[in-house]
Amino acid sequence: MKAQIRKKIKTKLSEITESEWEAKFLMICEKLFSLKEWEQARMIAITISRGLEIPTRPIIEQAWKEGKQVCIPKCSPGTGAMQFRTFSSDDQLETVYAGLSEPIVSRTEEVKQKAIDLVIVPGVGFDREGFRIGYGGGYYDRFLAGYDGRTVSLLFDCQLTNDIPRMPHDIPVDILLTESETIT
């Protein structure tokens, strides 16, 4: 079921024109940058986006411009664990499995959960209560189980669906930002 939902939403995303994508993305960023959670955050956790994901590079650059620290995830496919590590320049990145960009351990420092003020949680599909379908690894659900800070997800309206299956271990995101609404 999750695979079918992922496929359906990815198809919808692929149909958005470049100019629509840009306009919608700018609206979402405007909402993000005016959130009190963003304004108060000193350490922001975010992924390096790729493909049909909301682009995170402009968000990372805005965080740096505002003097915030940024950390990005390092996943361990063998154990299913994910830790966040400091990120301040592209020479700290390496390409790993599935073409993902992750921090180079020897050039970055681990950031403990309690030091992260805001986690920008990626996902493919979301329901209005903040439950999500991610990319299938379960990394964020495991990470968020021990995290008590604020979470936000950035998505286009077409990524909202009522079909998100829920498991007992799933953790909803606090705030969803789309081009047309803020859902808390």
**DSSP string of the chain, one letter each residue:** -HHHHHHHHHHHHHTS-HHHHHHHHHHHHHHHHHSHHHHH-SEEE-----TTSPP-HHHHHHHHHTT-EEEEEEEETTTTEEEEEE--SGGGEEE-GGG-EEE-GGGS-EE-GGG-SEEE---SEE-TTS-EE-SSS-HHHHHHTT--SEEEEE--GGGB-S-----TT----SEEE-SS-EE-
Q: Identify the bridge partners of residue 74 per DSSP, sorted by sequence position.
A: 83
pLDDT for res 62 = 97
- Mean pLDDT estimate for the chain: 92
Tell me the mean pLDDT in the region 78-103: 87
pLDDT of residue 158: 95
Expressed as residue numbers, the domain containing 90 is 2-183
Q: What is the pLDDT of residue 51?
A: 84
* Residue 57 pLDDT exceeds 80: yes
pLDDT at 60 over 80: yes
CB–CB of 74/105 below 8 Å? yes
Count Cα neighbours of 33 within 13 Å in the Cβ-side half-sphere. Answer: 17
Q: Would you list which residues are annotated within the binding site for ATP?
A: 2-6, 132-140
Binding-site members for substrate are 48, 53
Quick one: pLDDT at residue 35? 97
Round to whole Å and give the CA distance between 72 and 176.
Answer: 20
What band does 137 get if pLDDT is binned at 50, 70 and 90? confident
- With 90 as the cut, is the pLDDT of residue 170 above it? no
The phi, psi pair for 105, rounded to 5°, reads: -60, -40
Whether residue 169 is predicted with pLDDT greater than 90 in this model: the reply is no
What's residue 43's pLDDT?
98
Cα 138 to chain center, whole Å? 13
Give the residue with greater pLDDT, 80 vs 136: 80
Distance CA 76, CA 125 (A): 23
CA distance linking residue 26 with residue 29, whole number of Å: 5
Calpha distance 67→42 (Å, rounded): 8
Annotated binding-site residues read 2-6, 48, 53, 132-140
How many residues does this entry show for the chain? 184
User: What CATH number is associated with residue 41?
Assistant: 3.40.50.10420
**How many whole angstroms separate alpha carbon 79 and alpha carbon 173?**
24
Number of domains observed in the structure of the chain: 1
For tokens 């681990």, what's the residue?
110
